[in-house]
């Protein structure tokens, strides 16, 4: 087990690669962007014979009743109305899987250059497999996804490093989840077009480029299970050489998970136990503040998103021409994670985040999470915005600051600013009980469990570096 840990850290520290250089990977992405034909245009639902709006049911769906549908939802908290909006129903659980393999002594990950209709910049680095149940049951009539056979019976094909069912955006989906898997293999496998081997360090380098590494890759890599490996004193000394951030190293391997868990589990359990949440699905045409037209669904007031229909042509995919609805972001949001060093250990500030489509009322999210209709800024949040804006304006304590895309298969051009800021605790106001400082080992432990950390927090975790 110690050897796997050292191989992971060695791959994380390897920024140039030993199979494909980072320059070669960037040239490959640029070539694909230049040669792949992508044409996406807003259109009317009347232009399609597959997707349609059922005015009687007040629902957007397709003729096969497959993939997903869009309905209305009303959200009540402690019997008080909070908000209403369209929401995606997609109860099936898909695969987000990455194959890892040691090649010439270095651990590499097999990544895919994938184009989703909603991507800002066409090609993004995706997991080895990124497939809904409709994909791998071939409901769309296309071919079976490459490498599906390795994940279908994962434990028979290699060593499973990570395997958890995790949530997607609770502000857009109703209880949507995906199976996140990292599979370590030792056999030779084919490398198809649009796939390349790269080290974890190379993926981290690519994450520093706006909109290049997609949301699905980030959520899978956030689950690398450091805390599940027993690390003895000898291995701990070996690992120190990999870390520039010694406080992070202590936060992962030296601190005690139970110290943080004892603080945070009562917080989220109190919310789930004592906050009465009710979601009522309603026809889209009964949403008071939303208008349904042949071109989509639009809010009569200020909202984070609208819904439109898009005519899509992408060569190289299983199906190359189709029409579908996509959720279109109306603005760029910010997701921010505050960190500090206390007694030589790096800490992270997280908080309970209820969302309208959350699988179990709420999950832990980052310090700041903009861009959700349910979000209501209180005095504490406004104070936290002042802190982060001060740091950003003065370029102080910025550990990560990058624009990254959300899921391009359902969202059109939704990109958000992801920021990790190092602060002093003295800069903050007195925080209520739903905010808590935790070690990285606690976050890493909780991501080994279903539906505790939300996707915004998991994506920020994936950006944390040595």
CA atoms within 13 A on the CB side of 184: 15
Does residue 52 fall inside a structural domain? no
Cβ 332 vs Cβ 403: under 8 Å: yes
Instruction: Give the domain range for residue 18.
Output: 2-38+91-233
Q: Check whether residue 161 and residue 266 sit in a common domain.
A: no
Does residue 262 fall inside a structural domain? yes
Q: Check whether residue 258 and residue 404 sit in a common domain.
A: yes
Last residue of a domain, one of 204, 233, 262: 233
Query: What pLDDT does residue 316 have?
Result: 67
Does residue 459 fall inside a structural domain? yes
Q: Check whether residue 197 and residue 260 sit in a common domain.
A: no
Query: What pLDDT does residue 464 have?
Result: 96
Does residue 454 fall inside a structural domain? yes
Query: What pLDDT does residue 139 have?
Result: 59
Q: Check whether residue 126 and residue 177 sit in a common domain.
A: yes
Q: Check whether residue 228 and residue 194 sit in a common domain.
A: yes
Instruction: Please state, in angstroms and rounded to a whole number, the distance separating the CA atoms of residues 409 and 270.
Output: 35
Q: Check whether residue 386 and residue 358 sit in a common domain.
A: yes
Exposure of 276 by Cβ count < 10 A (0-12 exposed, 13-18 middle, 19+ buried)?
Answer: exposed
Of 305, 406, 405, 412, nearest in space to 356 by CA: 305
Domain count, the chain: 2
Query: What pLDDT does residue 138 have?
Result: 59
Contacts of 409 (CB under 8 A, 6+ apart): 116, 117, 118, 132
Does residue 391 fall inside a structural domain? yes
Q: Check whether residue 168 and residue 106 sit in a common domain.
A: yes
Q: For residue 426, give Cα distances in angstroms to 116, 248, 272, 419, 430.
A: 43, 20, 30, 20, 9
Q: Check whether residue 341 and residue 395 sit in a common domain.
A: yes
Query: What pLDDT does residue 48 have?
Result: 84
Last residue of a domain, one of 201, 233, 265: 233
Last residue of a domain, one of 170, 203, 233: 233
- The CA-based angle 93-94-97, given to 5 degrees, is 135
- What CATH number corresponds to the domain at position 15? 3.90.79.40
309: part of which helix (H) or strand (E)?
strand 305-314
Does residue 53 fall inside a structural domain? no
Q: Check whether residue 170 and residue 260 sit in a common domain.
A: no
Q: Check whether residue 254 and residue 162 sit in a common domain.
A: no
DSSP 255: S
Query: What pLDDT does residue 233 have?
Result: 76
Of 262, 421, 253, nearest in space to 334 by CA: 421
Q: Check whether residue 117 and residue 254 sit in a common domain.
A: no
User: How do the pLDDT tens digits run along the chain, 466 residues long?
Assistant: 578 889 999 999 999 999 999 999 999 999 999 988 889 999 999 988 899 999 999 999 999 888 899 999 999 999 999 999 999 999 889 999 999 999 999 999 999 999 999 998 889 999 999 988 766 665 556 678 899 999 998 999 999 999 999 999 999 999 999 999 999 999 999 999 899 999 999 999 999 999 999 999 999 999 999 988 777 777 778 888 899 999 999 999 988 888 888 889 999 999 999 999 999 999 999 999 999 999 999 999 888 899 999 999 987 666 788 899 999 999 899 999 999 999 999 999 999 999 999 999 999 999 999 865 455 567 899 999 999 999 999 999 999 999 999 999 999 999 999 999 999 999 999 999 999 999 999 999 999 999 999 999 999 999 999 8
Does residue 81 fall inside a structural domain? no
Question: pTM surpassing 0.75?
Answer: yes
Q: Check whether residue 18 and residue 123 sit in a common domain.
A: yes
Does residue 77 fall inside a structural domain? no
């Amino acid at each position: 087990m110690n050897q796997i840990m050292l191989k992971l850290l060695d791959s994380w520290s390897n920024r140039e690669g030993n199979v494909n250089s980072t320059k070669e990977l960037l040239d490959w992405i640029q070539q694909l962007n230049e040669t792949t034909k992508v044409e996406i245009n807003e259109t009317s639902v009347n232009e399609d014979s597959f997707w349609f709006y059922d005015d009687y049911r007040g629902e957007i769906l397709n003729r096969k009743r497959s993939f997903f549908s869009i309905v209305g939802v009303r959200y009540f908290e402690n019997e008080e109305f909070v908000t209403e909006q369209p929401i995606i129903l997609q109860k099936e659980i898909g695969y987000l899987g990455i194959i890892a393999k040691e090649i010439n002594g270095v651990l590499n990950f097999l990544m895919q250059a994938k184009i989703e209709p909603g991507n800002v910049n066409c090609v993004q680095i995706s997991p080895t497999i990124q497939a809904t149940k409709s994909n791998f049951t071939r409901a769309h009539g296309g071919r079976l996804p490459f490498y599906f056979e390795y994940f279908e019976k994962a434990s028979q094909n290699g060593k499973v490093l990570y395997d958890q069912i995790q949530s997607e955006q609770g502000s857009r989906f109703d209880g949507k989840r995906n199976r996140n898997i990292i599979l370590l293999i030792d056999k030779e496998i084919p490398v198809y077009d649009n796939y390349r081997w790269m080290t974890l360090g190379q993926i981290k380098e690519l994450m520093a480029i706006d909109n290049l590494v997609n949301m699905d890759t980030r959520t899978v890599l956030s689950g690398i299970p450091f805390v599940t490996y027993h690390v003895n004193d000898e291995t701990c000394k070996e690992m120190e050489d990999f870390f520039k951030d010694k406080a992070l190293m202590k936060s992962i391997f030296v601190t005690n998970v139970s110290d943080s868990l004892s603080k945070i589990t009562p917080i989220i359990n109190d919310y789930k136990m004592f906050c009465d949440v009710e979601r009522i699905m309603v026809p889209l045409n009964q949403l008071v503040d939303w208008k349904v037209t042949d071109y989509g669904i639009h809010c009569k007031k200020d909202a984070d998103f609208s819904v439109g229909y898009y005519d899509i042509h992408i060569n190289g995919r299983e199906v190359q021409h189709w029409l579908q609805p996509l959720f279109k972001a109306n603005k760029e949001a910010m997701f921010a994670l505050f960190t500090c060093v206390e007694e030589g250990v790096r800490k992270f500030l997280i908080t309970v985040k209820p969302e309208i489509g959350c699988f179990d009322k709420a999950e832990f999210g980052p310090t700041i999470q903009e861009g959700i209709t349910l979000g209501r800024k209180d005095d504490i949040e406004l104070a936290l915005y002042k802190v982060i804006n001060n740091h950003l304006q003065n370029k102080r304590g910025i550990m990560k600051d990058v624009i990254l895309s959300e899921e391009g298969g359902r969202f059109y051009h939704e990109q958000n600013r992801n920021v990790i800021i190092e602060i002093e605790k003295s800069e903050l106001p007195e925080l209520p009980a739903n905010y808590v400082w935790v070690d990285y080992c606690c976050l890493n432990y909780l991501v080994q469990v279903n539906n505790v950390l939300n996707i915004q927090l998991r994506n920020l975790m994936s950006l944390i570096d040595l």
